[in-house]
Chain A
Amino acid sequence: MIAQSLSDLWYGFSVALMPQNLMWSFFGVLIGNLIGVLPGMGALTAISMLLPLTYSMHAVPAILMLAGIFYGSQYGGAIGAILLNLPSHPPHAVSCLDGYPMTQHGRGGAALGITMIASFFAASFGITVMVFASPLLVQIAFKLGPAEIFSVMLLGLLAGATMSRGSPLKGVAMTVFGLLIGVVGTDVNTGAQRFTFGFTELADRVELVALAMGIFGIGDFLRSVNRIHFAGHEAKVRFKDMRPTKAELKRSFMPMLRGTLIGTLFGAMPGTGPTITTFIAYAVERKVSRHPERFGHGAIEGVASPEAASHSKTQVDFIPTMSLGIPGDSVMALLLGALLIQGITPGPQLITEHADLFWGLIASFWVGNVLLIILNVPLIGLWVKMLQVPYRFLFPSALLFIAVGVYSTNNSLFEVTEVLFFGVVGAILMALEFPVAPILLGYVLGPLVEENFRRAVLLARGDLSVFVTRPISAAFIAAALALIVGQLVLGWRARRSLKRMQPA
């Protein structure tokens, strides 16, 4: 088994190192890093902007590039958080807490260096887990029928809805809203047109890129206009400053390890977002520290652990996405969508049928992470400059890239109108404090959920109890119930302690 995995991995490297694939991987990491550094742009924006480009590409380079954009932008996001106190991407908000004080004390470079080391270490660990866990998971996955798959997806959707930030109830509402958007188009079983309202363009579903760019692009601009300023202040970092001292390295080793494990654990749980992962990693670090009072004033542990957690989670997240077809969060949902567009259905058969893609992807993670380090050594000065581009120039340019990018997906201006529509919808929902990321998860999983639900019930001749009488399915349903009960208890407790703090 292990020998098999290793030889598969070897094969993966031969795929990832093919000049063409290597080139796209490099391109993805570079662009991802670049966009991630820009204020107000995260992995979601970066991937959806470049998604149209992949439609005409071969599947392997396409997915390698998109994955590269993902972890590249993640690394880029950390730079803004640490040097300028700008959480351009919510998971990095935690890195601001101690990263920025380090910059103020003149140790910003070291914080970046530690981030780099922690990311690479955590990513390597995550990849290793992926190499050995995926084949195991696949063996289980083959035993899953439609009833089980439906239950797993239900669990994933519920976890995604309730464990993101904000009210769990609102998260559920958004997930269902996403599922409804996923219904739009032609019903695969009967050919009926659903929710198309006479637009023939909608028969082929709502365009993934239009939905993502609307919510995360235009929606965000509408919300942030005139509210984000920042003339960049001077933060000079050269490569020489990036080397952490021996003491700093020693202090951050254990946090790095703990962060990695937390990230791995959360990555394996479908639906837990990256933000909650980094926050928990930070909280744990503060709990175990002998000097919790140093946190918030430039404790290097507070940078190492969350950054490690976010990177190991990123890698481990790929396991359920690729081998079960169930994305852990909205970025994974987007990548899953990209695979579906390429005509590849993620699932247990993916590893055998598309071995080049699967093992190539895994190997490219390593290659990409090495590229990332090589890239950031000479370019750190450039990134610092990019950080200082004012928002008032940034978002009009991004708006154009969105419009052109969405147009080019199908050469259709109707889809640009779709972006505008979802942008306005997204901005309204955000103003009402709905978490919008679950919409994307619901949209991508919608057709799969419906398909498996209908098939499972059909096979059971209309008997709905099939979901609780089959043991594996029942276990997932039980986990979903436990999740809801847990949320209720936690919410109740939080309210009680709130009341105690401020007696009416």
Chain B
Amino acid sequence: MHRLFRKSLRDYVGGALMVLLGLAAILEGRTYQVGSVSHMGPGFFPVWLGAILACSGLAIIVYAKLFIPRDEDEDMLPPEWRAWMLIIASVAAFVGLATYGGLVPATFAVVFLSALADRDNTVLTAAVLAAAITLVCVVVFWWALQLQIPLFRWG
């Protein structure tokens, strides 16, 4: 299995995240009308969901504290920051380039950048793959399925 966090830490962080999300939902939900059981407002359901989420987060933390042994020996994997950033950047580039550059640069960018995320791909293989997929994309999506993005556009 792929593990990024130690087992105990994983549950503490996860539980805390759920508590935060739950509290955020309660706070935001309270700005809508909450109402009472007999007169429920739009905020009623989200506030209670937030409360349940926060409670389950607490329960995850308590459970981890009580039952999960600290720091077992596990194979830890190094984080893949470069790959993660490239994949995120590739989708962001698609959004940006589809707006300001057109379908061809957007397609090329998303495939090229995300292919670079895999260490086994070189700049050359990534570029070749991107070019090939761009061609497929133009034929299938733009020509055959009439996708509503022009091939090229400026600004």
Interface of A toward B, CB cutoff 8 Å: 167, 169-170, 172-173, 176-177, 179-180, 183, 187, 189-190, 192, 194-195, 218, 221-227, 229, 390-393, 395-397, 399-400, 403-404, 407-408, 411, 413, 416-417, 419-420, 423-424, 427, 429, 431-434, 450, 453-454, 457-458, 461-462, 464, 495
Contact = CB atoms under 8 A, between A and B. Distances in A.
B110 A454 contact: no
Nearest to A192: B42
Contacts of A229: 120
Given A173-B18, A392-B118, A404-B141, A187 B90 contact: no
A392 B148 contact: no
A174 B36 CA distance: 26
Contacts of A427: 84
Interface residues of B, number: 72
Contact of B42 (A189, A392, A399): A189
B52 interface: yes
Interface in B32-53: 32-33, 36-46, 49-50, 52-53
Contact of B49 (A169, A180, A225): A180
Given A176-B53, A408-B147, A462 B46 contact: no
Contacts of A187: 32, 42
Nearest to A225: B83
Given A225-B117, A407-B98, A169 B67 contact: no
Given A226-B80, A396-B133, A432-B14, A190 B41 contact: yes
B29 to A, nearest CB: 8
Contacts, number: 175
9 interchain residue pairs of minimum CB distance: A462-B38, A432-B14, A392-B118, A192-B42, A187-B42, A396-B115, A396-B114, A173-B56, A225-B83
Contact of A225 (B32, B37, B53, B84): B84
B49 A183 contact: yes
21 contacts: A169-B56, A169-B63, A190-B33, A194-B29, A194-B42, A222-B87, A222-B88, A225-B84, A226-B80, A227-B2, A391-B118, A396-B112, A396-B129, A397-B133, A400-B94, A400-B107, A407-B149, A416-B98, A420-B88, A432-B11, A461-B38
